[in-house]
Structure 1
């Protein structure tokens, strides 16, 4: 009788440094042992070769998860630094394996004709990985590729560390907090010098730029926010882009974008530019119309204003929604206390996907504010999740899902971590939407964590599809009936349906200029990786003028803290590409019953649970019964 896998046992609070090192070192040693066996005495059957390779990849992914996750979130800097070192060891081994000609020969000599579809896909993808690593290049080229890979990782680590540790702040007089919610003011006491410190962390900067009446204070904080990690990361990025360009050229690609896009839905680098221009054109009319409304409202306060920039945009968008669209965000937030939202999210997703979330109070996590839950489906535990949702020093500054363990059927349970930086009190509705979005990745990780092959486990689809399931889950955070199940104010009153409907109408305001802003980010991501640029800020200004409808804010260098330039590299377009697909998939749901079990079950089983076992386009077509189109997205944008 096979014993069911159990969650990863975590250490006592004082043992983290040793545990992180031991966990990664043991898994790396396991990887090397299995690979050595494959090279010295490979199994006779192709399927058995792939199974040994799968075991090696499981071990390598376990080591990588420990390094990548704890380097970003552990409260002890010594642990974060140790995890950074471990990631260097992981990357080195991964690079060495990809350039190992003996290992490649084992796979190149396999006859895959008798393999089933999944195993054949593993073999095809493995051979593709070797080719993309440069294993077929001459020895000098392979050594250069090895050096470039190691240098790229060090630069990526520096880039992330500079952002994590680059928190900035402004000190303001108490009267400059006018307009802020009272609970926010209460959480920011006046210091001994009679001033209040406001930081560039999300729980400070997002509400401040939205509600603070003092234009000078808003501009000061937004400017600091847009100069995080400057000038250090400007230097880091220029070298990182150069390393990636050389890497792609050595492998025979015209640009890094061509190399990167080869394994994505979009296929080619040039198609990225075409997609960006297409969305830019689609959004133009809506963007300029709504921006004009903002400028007109700004003129009521500053009659000589001719344009509006990032220091004022969020504030005046909120005024327009409040004054013209009857939505007061400060009233809205009273219905979203953090604890209720967290439980509501679990209840909604549990009902939607047939999941049960059982609290694990004794999970022994890395911080006391982390909440852990076992995940069950049909009465069987299928994974564990951890919610690390509040800011602290040295922690990852954005919102993301991290793997702690990638699930493999019968071997190990999937475990994922949601890392965010939310207030502990009331949430803005935008933060509720963000929480639903990021939780979508976590659900995807767990449901797709029941695969036999680790390379198909979890969020293992093409990278320009991974946001689509999360973007679609956002829709449940906009539905009045869904919100009524958990959104209540301090008096116990449920959020009124008419307010939610007004919120949806107000959310439509600005979606055109939001799309144009996203295309500016995407163009920057693509352009920086396809041309040699000495002055990144100057080029940023040019791209902003072309794609965004808002002007550059003098003295800022937002690329230095735009973390997606590392992880997404040239492919930030993927957020909008995924949104096109998300809107199309959502069209299959009944707007009058978002919990329809037949539709939700089909989506769960045909898209989420399949992980990377099929191409994303095929998963979507299987669910929709047809290929995906732009139609739903274009209709939404035109509403």
Structure 2
């Protein structure tokens, strides 16, 4: 059986009908397969597992379609339809998970009957665990309550995301107050009829303004606007969301939501999360103080009586430290990072590294700035790997951060893996940090398509434990820092490659601030954890008060009075209590990268071994086992600690 990529609608008018038709058809297929299990499961346990897995795959198609289009489609009507489709998929999945008749089908399978097939045995164990975690063993009234909770959690998660996505704030600025901004940025922000320039909280505006604008009031105003996204609308949503998650977790037998969530992650137990946060915070204490000392010294040149650097001045003065002490001018660096060249360079680098070939295809997409590529193995007679879509520039109604979304999961002979990269980059010159982000997110995309050729939907794509999924992406960032790699695509208008000594200076400058970065990340992780764990306390703290307390305990930079950063912190939705996973994954990423030779990052033996032993398996094995198979030993903290301390 030969599978083909999806054919998306060719006209804007066709999209609503297509979303309805595809979501309905996929839900119908899913229900029909589960109906077979209910009516009389096959005697063959492998046939039982296959029916369930394929039904789950069709259900996943609807959830993926809904999540993607609800975040990227230009039409509000289509976004609403997509959100509705995702809710329907989640609702049906909840019904299945609480169906005791279905659970009994899998409980009745003799383990010995699948013991000769490790993948099938693993799948059976996962299915049984899913049912137990769902509360299938509870009485009918409790199961009805669980179903209602899950439905409402889905609605709140979508609503929270929608508010953040649509809450684009602006400041209006006289053009003379934008001194210091790059010429290309100024050209893209013309003076309007009233003599002012509009600056938005979208990343291509907010990041460079906070970094380059010399007017402190402008930096303060855009920072405050950025921190206030979602406020006050999302506070009540988050309080309800956290309370419902806690109720769900305790109803099915866990102490709190973090314990429930951690049970299926590498970390294993909820209380291990604050222990990990404190370990990273302690390791980052000295680097943070070193960074802050340099920052404050430079700040006092302009503000002699200052005792700390406010958050709205951090990006600007960190840039000055890098420029003056490390001889790295970000505007000089930007001159070598034209978006179109960077995008092609990314494809060239990853193609060479992983033995892949990308062919741009002229197919229907949801916006004319989206590009599509078919991915193939580069070796002679190399087969198809999947299809990827790159949606990389901001627009109204679009997801505001950077992420990889699934369009379809891949299973051999059943369905082609298709993934979408959603970012918000400049159409012209890029900051190097954004190049790093592009490499990072593309790592997820590669993981998705490379791991889409196994036998089971359950293990397809980025299906490992959630606190590992960032590790391959974080490791791919290393290629965006290497002089010889950057010189292959980072060229200025005259065609001159970025100088190697400039890249080396960039790397040294990047070491500055990582202590501040690590502590900031631990503040976010602590907020993510304690906002949920606090629900087990007799008196739940006010979210703003708790945020201020945690920022004081963990963050390097002070709280800005009157702001409510948590209200726009989208990771409280999808990552819930597990934002720690970014740093947990970074520990693993640094250790995996130690297997590569810095003098030859494209050495085929190690790159191929990494591709085939870590990326290609997807979720077919525990992440710790995949890493051990690649490294020849369990992962350790040593490489991360050495990186942080240097």
Aligned twin of 1:136: 137
Aligned twin of 1:406: 409
Q: Tell me whether 1:494 sits opposite 2:497 in the alignment.
A: yes
Question: Which of these residues, 595, 603, 613, is aligned with residue 610 of structure 2?
Answer: 603
Aligned twin of 1:70: 69
Q: Structure 1 stretch 256-265 or stretch 131-140: which is displaced more?
A: 131-140
**Secondary structure at 1:311 match in 2:** helix
Q: Tell me whether 1:374 sits opposite 2:374 in the alignment.
A: yes
Offset of residue 382 of structure 1: 1.6
**Secondary structure at 2:311 match in 1:** coil
Question: Which of these residues, 561, 564, 581, is aligned with residue 557 of structure 1?
Answer: 564
Alpha-carbon separation, structure 2, partners of 1:395 and 1:564: 16
Aligned twin of 2:601: 594
Alpha-carbon separation, structure 2, partners of 1:298 and 1:589: 39
CA contact (8 A) 2:287 2:514 kept: yes
**Secondary structure at 1:197 match in 2:** strand
Aligned twin of 1:206: 207
Deviation digits for residues 438-494 of structure 1, max 9, x if unmatched? Answer: 000000000001111001000000000000000000000000000011000001100
Aligned twin of 2:59: 60
Matches within 5 A, 1:388-427: 388-427=391-430
CA contact (8 A) 2:534 2:541 kept: no
CA contact (8 A) 1:46 1:112 kept: no
Alpha-carbon separation, structure 2, partners of 1:63 and 1:111: 32
Q: Structure 1 stretch 82-91 or stretch 618-627: which is displaced more?
A: 82-91
CA contact (8 A) 1:279 1:515 kept: yes
Deviation digits for residues 362-407 of structure 1, max 9, x if unmatched? Answer: x100000000000001421120000000000000000000000000
CA RMSD, Structure 1 to Structure 2 (Å)? 0.7
Aligned twin of 1:272: 273
Q: What are the ranges of 5 or more consecutive residues in structure 1 without an aligned counterpart?
A: none
Alpha-carbon separation, structure 2, partners of 1:327 and 1:117: 52
Alpha-carbon separation, structure 2, partners of 1:83 and 1:412: 21
Q: Tell me whether 1:526 sits opposite 2:525 in the alignment.
A: no
Equivalenced residues, count = 636
Alpha-carbon separation, structure 2, partners of 1:471 and 1:317: 22
CA contact (8 A) 2:334 2:432 kept: yes
**Secondary structure at 1:49 match in 2:** helix
**Secondary structure at 1:530 match in 2:** helix
Alpha-carbon separation, structure 1, partners of 2:196 and 2:552: 37
Aligned twin of 1:110: 109
Aligned twin of 2:553: 546
Matches within 5 A, 1:505-524: 505-524=508-527
**Secondary structure at 2:271 match in 1:** helix
Aligned twin of 1:153: 154
CA contact (8 A) 1:358 1:374 kept: yes
Aligned twin of 1:330: 331
Aligned twin of 1:11: 9
Aligned twin of 2:29: 30
Deviation digits for residues 541-585 of structure 1, max 9, x if unmatched? Answer: 000000012110112111111110010000000000000000000
Aligned twin of 1:583: 590
Moved over 6 A (4+): none
**Secondary structure at 1:516 match in 2:** helix
Alpha-carbon separation, structure 2, partners of 1:351 and 1:123: 38
Aligned twin of 1:612: 619
Deviation digits for residues 585-637 of structure 1, max 9, x if unmatched? Answer: 00000110000000000000000000000000000000000000000000001
Question: Which of these residues, 437, 440, 445, is aligned with residue 437 of structure 1?
Answer: 440
Deviation digits for residues 130-152 of structure 1, max 9, x if unmatched? Answer: 00100011111111111100110
Alpha-carbon separation, structure 2, partners of 1:270 and 1:187: 48
Offset of residue 112 of structure 1: 2.5
Aligned twin of 1:190: 191
Alpha-carbon separation, structure 1, partners of 2:408 and 2:311: 39
Aligned twin of 1:624: 631
Matches within 5 A, 1:169-318: 169-318=170-319
Q: What are the ranges of 5 or more consecutive residues in structure 2 without an aligned counterpart?
A: none
Offset of residue 54 of structure 1: 1.4
**Secondary structure at 1:312 match in 2:** helix
Deviation digits for residues 91-116 of structure 1, max 9, x if unmatched? Answer: 11000000001111111101131320
Alpha-carbon separation, structure 1, partners of 2:28 and 2:4: 22
TM-score by length of 2: 0.98
